[in-house]
Amino acid sequence: NAGVTQTPKFQVLKTGQSMTLQCAQDMNHNSMYWYRQDPGMGLRLIYYSASEGTTDKGEVPNGYNVSRLNKREFSLRLESAAPSQTSVYFCASSEMGYEQYFGPGTRLTVT
């Protein structure tokens, strides 16, 4: 049982490049989330999907887009990366709505 998986684990981008972070869960959870974690800031919600077919903005959505491809997969896209988007990105899923299970993270550096 893999839980929540994320790819890639590490990525370096140049300013203006685009990329998609992939997330998949095998727990049959309805809800999925994307967070970013910066030093001293805790985890901040970027976007979430309460159920398949729906997505909503979180606290820091600017510069990002998401796609809930199916119940298992939820991707995060950076269309034009900026140095301010250097961060660790976590995907999470939940069934109860509150108890979230996190992936191992993607460490992104934008130069």
Partner 1 sequence: TQLLEQSPQFLSIQEGENLTVYCNSSSVFSSLQWYRQEPGEGPVLLVTVVTGGEVKKLKRLTFQFGDARKDSSLHITAAQPGDTGLYLCAGALDSWGKLQFGAGTQVVVTP
Q: Does 99 bind partner 1 (CB under 8 A)?
A: yes
Residues 90 and 37: their CA atoms lie apart, in Å, by 8
β-strand partners of 21:
76
Number of Cβ atoms within 10 Å of the Cβ of 42: 8
The first and second tokens of residue 31, run together, are 């809800």
Which residue in 21, 23, 25, 31 binds partner 1 (CB under 8 A)? 31
Record the tokens describing residue 37, joined without a space: 């974690």
Q: How far is the CB of 83 from partner 1 (least distance, A)?
A: 22
Q: Does 101 bind partner 1 (CB under 8 A)?
A: yes
Name which position in 13, 105, 108, 110 contacts partner 1 (CB under 8 A): 105
Restricted to residues 34-73, the positions that interact with partner 1 (CB under 8 A) are 35, 40-45, 48, 50, 56, 58
Q: How far apart are CA 10 and CA 99, in angstroms?
A: 26
Q: What residues line the site for partner 1 (CB under 8 A)?
A: 4, 31, 33, 35, 40-45, 48, 50, 56, 58, 90, 92, 94, 96-105
